Structure 1
Amino acid sequence: MPLTLFRRSKIWHYRGTVAGRRLRGSTGTADRAIAERLKAEVEAKAWERKFDGPGAGLTMAQVFSAYLDAEKSERFLLRLADYWKNTLVETIRPETVRQAARKIYPQATEPTWNRQVIKPTQAAINYAAELGWCPRISVKRFTENPEEKTPATVEWVRAFADQADQDGLPHLGALCLFMFGTAARVGEACRLEWRDINLSASTATIQLFKPTIWTRTAHIQPEVVAALKNLPSNRKPDDLVFGYAGRGSVRGPWNNVAARANIPRLTPYCCRHGFATSMLRRGYDVKTVAERGGWNDATTVLRTYAHAIEDKTVTDALFDT
């Protein structure tokens, strides 16, 4: 359909399809007459570029707009759109994307550059390629050397929970037990409301928000159920189970409890790490661990958590009868 004008606040914007290309943008003016002229210029240029080959005149702003219109994930895109603005897609090269990662997040590490710049930028451009607007792009990821995390053990978790109870922080102790028992991330656990907990059925409905919104029902073990039942709470359906707003409010008390318990200072994420590591070492297959712990892809569990058992004598089991 041809371009049409619409107002957002006082400024006129345009959207529509011209010469097979979906266009959307701002005229930058509140004057309808000027906006009409600008709209006509955009249409004329779009028809001119139709004959210049795929990608001619296509901007990153248009690419991101089309990507969002297709209801793709908007995660990280606002920062990218602000950086690229109206940069022509035909000028984008794999190395310019890698350079953009360093410029947008100068203090970040390789995993962040890959996740928040390279992957979404490449996905948006390649979506435009599927529409026939431009060629596909392939960007080499940065080599990642993730810091090895120490997994929490059941002994560590119990020691932490006991100390938290002694310190008058039963909610923090229960949070630790819950994350170890369900592989919930600290943000997911902090968002739990009592409506999400079914103590009689020993289940918890956990809301996940990355990379897309979905839910999973996790089993909670008797030890965790007991800790939840002992929490001082009115247990209104919309009350937070653990009483913490998020990871920021957990960090300080968490580190203090670990110090007083005289146990290694592990992060809350180490409970999720401990879930996977403990289940694997107890002989459960990777697919089961992934499903019970809320990982979409079993290969992620295999790649991240399936560390080799250090005891060399485990091969004796080959000749056990």
Structure 2
Amino acid sequence: MSVQIYKRGKIWHYRGTVAGRRSRGTCGTSDKKTAQRIAAEVEAASWRRHLDGPAAHVTFAQAAIAYRNAGKSDRFLAKIEDHWRDAAIREISAGAIRNSSLKLYPNAKGATHNRQVIVPTQAIINFAAELEWCPPIKVKRFKTSTKTKIPATRDWISAFSDQAIADGLPHLAALAYFMFGTGARRGEACGLLWADIDLFNKKAVIHQSKIEDTRIAHMPQAVVVAIANISSNRNEDEHVFGYATGESVGQVWGNVCKRAGIAKLTPHSCRHGFATTMLQAGIDPKTVAMRGGWKDVATVMKHYAHAMDDPTVTDVLFDTPVTHTQAGKQASN
């Protein structure tokens, strides 16, 4: 039965079955000709949905709402949603997504285009594909230039902290120690509240913004001491290091580096140093990833495992107590 109209009081309504699916609603009018036109449009739309599939009518906004409701990360989504609004998913091509990144961030580099537009946009559409709303999509990433990241070392942290304390910034010194000693990201460390700190048991609850999870981090003694030095008059609802956001650390951080006469490393270099120092100390990558809050070992190996320049490092293949003794005898002769 096609969609038919009928009157209820003064208002016309429609009902019927199209392609095996029932359709019913109000035309919202007392005029019969208008009601007939509305019913015809409802029937035509029902056939389009049946023939074209859901992707023909699901909008990006609807897909984004479903994505958020599923508990997925909403990082970088605001600009993307404003750009696509009610565009049908079927009209969004891989090329259009790449162009949208250039429009949203015209002065950004490839890594930013990939991270803040291509990855989240593709994630929303592919989530909709899992719901059978549309086909999945694959978008070519922009080329990125690989920058050599310099990790912070224990000596660098010590020099930086000494200068920060001399400048009357003990909270900044404690922040550097905390990031280096726990692998916390800058934003995670700045978001730390006193309620998250247990100095007696050397533990801290870190709320990981990037992967939306929490982890319990062990604080080495040096970190505990640095935080204890700023713990007077503490309030559990206050930020431990006194910085509301990671962005507020940037300027003062660079000034301390300059006055200390040390390399101008970024706060993230502390997290980098955590991983690199652990790996060079012989801690296995899986443990480093777990203790530092990385989702997988591959990330740790790709970004933080640095090759050693010393060519004699291969001597370790035959390094035994016997070779140590022989080397000692040869040296004494």
1:252-263 paired onto structure 2 within 5 Å: 252-263=251-262
Contact 1:49/1:57, CA 8 A, preserved across alignment: no
Aligned equivalents of 1:65 and 1:230: distance in 2? Answer: 46
Q: Deviations over 1:168-197 (max 9, x none)?
A: 111111111111101111111111111111
2:89 counterpart residue number: 89
1:128-207 paired onto structure 2 within 5 Å: 128-207=128-207
Aligned equivalents of 1:234 and 1:162: distance in 2? Answer: 23
Question: Quick one: which amino acid aligns to residue 129 of structure 2?
Answer: A
Helix, strand or coil for the counterpart of 1:50?
helix
Q: Deviations over 1:59-94 (max 9, x none)?
A: 323322333343333222221121112223222221
Contact 1:188/1:207, CA 8 A, preserved across alignment: yes
1:156 Cα deviation from its structure 2 partner = 0.4
Aligned equivalents of 2:20 and 2:107: distance in 1? Answer: 41
Contact 1:190/1:245, CA 8 A, preserved across alignment: yes
Residues 1:284 and 1:89: Cα distance change in structure 2 (over 3 Å): same
Aligned equivalents of 1:243 and 1:51: distance in 2? Answer: 58
2:240 counterpart residue number: 241
Contact 2:19/2:50, CA 8 A, preserved across alignment: no
Question: Quick one: which amino acid aligns to residue 102 of structure 2?
Answer: R
Higher Cα Rg: structure 1 or 2?
2
Residues 1:295 and 1:20: Cα distance change in structure 2 (over 3 Å): farther
Aligned equivalents of 1:236 and 1:142: distance in 2? Answer: 46
Contact 1:59/1:87, CA 8 A, preserved across alignment: yes
Aligned equivalents of 2:225 and 2:211: distance in 1? Answer: 32
Aligned equivalents of 1:118 and 1:46: distance in 2? Answer: 32
Residues 1:218 and 1:81: Cα distance change in structure 2 (over 3 Å): same
Residues 1:86 and 1:159: Cα distance change in structure 2 (over 3 Å): same
- Number of aligned positions between the proteins: 290
Residues 1:65 and 1:235: Cα distance change in structure 2 (over 3 Å): closer
Aligned equivalents of 1:301 and 1:20: distance in 2? Answer: 53
Helix, strand or coil for the counterpart of 1:138?
coil
Could you list the structure 1 runs, at least 4 aligned residues long, displaced by more than 6 angstroms after superposition.
18-21, 39-42
Contact 1:174/1:224, CA 8 A, preserved across alignment: yes
RMSD: 2.6
TM-score (norm 2): 0.80
Residues 1:266 and 1:314: Cα distance change in structure 2 (over 3 Å): same
For the pair 1:287 / 2:289, whether they are aligned, the reply is no
1:40 Cα deviation from its structure 2 partner = 8.0
Helix, strand or coil for the counterpart of 2:52?
coil
Residues 1:252 and 1:320: Cα distance change in structure 2 (over 3 Å): same
Residues 1:230 and 1:134: Cα distance change in structure 2 (over 3 Å): closer
1:99 counterpart residue number: 99
Q: Which runs of 5+ in 2 are unaligned?
A: 1-17, 22-27, 30-34, 321-333
Contact 1:19/1:46, CA 8 A, preserved across alignment: no
1:29 counterpart residue number: none
2:272 counterpart residue number: 273
Residues 1:41 and 1:102: Cα distance change in structure 2 (over 3 Å): farther
1:232 Cα deviation from its structure 2 partner = 5.6
Q: Deviations over 1:277-298 (max 9, x none)?
A: 1111111110011111111111
Q: Deviations over 1:194-213 (max 9, x none)?
A: 1111111011111112232x
1:230 Cα deviation from its structure 2 partner = 1.6
Aligned equivalents of 1:134 and 1:249: distance in 2? Answer: 42
1:57 Cα deviation from its structure 2 partner = 3.4
Q: Deviations over 1:268-317 (max 9, x none)?
A: 11000110111111111100111111111111101111121111110111
Q: Which runs of 5+ in 1 are unaligned?
A: 1-17, 22-32
Aligned equivalents of 1:42 and 1:270: distance in 2? Answer: 61
Aligned equivalents of 2:124 and 2:20: distance in 1? Answer: 18
2:121 counterpart residue number: 121
The worse-fitting range, judged by mean Cα deviation, of 236-245 and 72-81 is 72-81
Helix, strand or coil for the counterpart of 1:108?
coil
TM-score (norm 1): 0.83
Contact 1:178/1:184, CA 8 A, preserved across alignment: yes
Question: Quick one: which amino acid aligns to residue 281 of structure 1?
Answer: Q
Question: Quick one: which amino acid aligns to residue 170 of structure 2?
Answer: P
Aligned equivalents of 2:86 and 2:161: distance in 1? Answer: 53
Question: Quick one: which amino acid aligns to residue 317 of structure 1?
Answer: V
1:43-82 paired onto structure 2 within 5 Å: 44=43, 46-54=45-53, 55-82=55-82
Aligned equivalents of 2:303 and 2:100: distance in 1? Answer: 27
